[in-house]
Amino acid sequence: MTELTHGGQPKATPVEVVLGVCGGIAAYKSCELLRLFTESGHSVRVVPTAAALKFVGAPTWAALSGRPVATEVWDDAHEVPHVRIGRHADLVVVAPATADMLAKAAHGIADDLLTNTLLTATCPVVFAPAMHTEMWENPATQANVALLRSRGFVVIEPAVGRLTGADTGKGRLPDPQSIFEVARHALAGKHDLAGRRVVVTAGGTREPLDPVRFLGNRSSGKQGYALARTAVARGARVTVIAANVTLSDPAGADIVRVGTTEELRKAALEAFSSADVIVMAAAPADFRPAVVAAKKIKKTDSGTPPTIELVTNPDIAAELGAAKRPGQLLVAFAAETHDALANARGKLVRKRADLIVINEVGVDRVFGADSNTVTLLDADGGTTVLGELPKDDVADAIWDAIVMRLDPLVDQGGTA
């Protein structure tokens, strides 16, 4: 199997990527996606629809890809492009994918070169939708998306943000880097979370002392967001509960924003009720002030600081562990400054977790970094030590361990 890479050495055999581009204002963003593919050392054939060429012209696609752009089934007819392009592709990515294209793909309509390519492709296919919120939420579009997913196609959830004009909502094309990551996982054949609903918590909670100050921690949310990105790429429906995270939202995930530990607790309990897995990668504050001052706490003339009484916050992971149903999985994190393994073993039992991720943290260690060094400890006593890896690779290793523990999906007829 060929592999899509970025930032490292490409494989000797380049991946043949077909980049389908539909008519929408987001078509210009696909130029950046094309650059990510080509800089990985792979060959890209751009197949735009007629409407897409109203936004970005064929000369631009040809210059960026280094290859001629076919726009009609009649172009180079002797080569039978409507069959050949799909057959030779290792990966097809349609970005942006309009509501019209999703409908055609779901119902097997082939009225241009791109839709013919989709019908003949036997490789992984990824759709990155972009459209107005009302179009995305329309029952017809949702039915088409469900049908495509049921057939094994990857349909990324659109992002929330600014749309055409002054409109804002769900329907924005995900960030090109995020689409690239989904494509990389699709090509690797990891679609083992399809049909699963997962929840990932990320970031660090903040407990207010007064209207200005808070108790918090150094968690950036990078590992949690990496877990969300890789889960989306592997086919899961992902909800991220983000505590004070300032990173770009992972494409294809639903984001719930929280500030305090209590807000995180409420959101986690609600989301986990319908989920298969929850990964508690966030760093909730263990303590909060017993009283929050209504006004900014001022220095006194004596210079003596005030005494702040703290109370213990609820243990969210333990509460989830006690409430989980058969088949649900709880993954906890143990961020420790010392005695990491011993402390994690105790947490594994107290929280009734199925898997615990251990990492040693501190000043200039892990927080905010792009790599992580973790140990996985499971409820059966197994231990897996991972060397220092990029956080996306750590996330993949965690999902590999989770997938091994998931019960098989059961279809509507009651068979696995």
β-sheet bridge partners, residue 204: 283
Beta-carbon count within 10 A of 323 CB = 13
Alpha-carbon distance of 12 to 10, in angstroms, equals 6
Q: Quick one: CA dihedral 177, 182, 185, 186, positive or negative?
A: negative
Q: What is the DSSP string of 73-130?
A: TTTTGGG-HHHHHHHH-SEEEEEEE-HHHHHHHHHT---SHHHHHHHH--S-EEEEE-
Instruction: Based on the residue annotation, tell me whether 217 is a catalytic residue of this protein.
Output: yes
Q: Which helix (H) or strand (E) holds 258?
A: strand 253-258
For residue 78, with 0-12 CB atoms within 10 Å meaning exposed, 13-18 middle and 19 or more buried, which class applies? exposed
Q: Which pair of structure tokens corresponds to residue 45?
A: 């054939």
Assess contact for 189 and 233: CB atoms under 8 A. Answer: no
Alpha-carbon distance of 21 to 156, in angstroms, equals 15
Identify the active-site residue in 144, 217, 313, 359.
217
Task: Give which of 394, 372, 376, 397 is closest to 385, Cα–Cα.
Answer: 376
Backbone angles phi, psi at 308, to 5 degrees: -110, 120
Question: Of how many residues is the chain composed?
Answer: 416
Assess contact for 211 and 170: CB atoms under 8 A. Answer: no
Backbone angles phi, psi at 335, to 5 degrees: -95, 110
Active site (catalytic) residues = 217
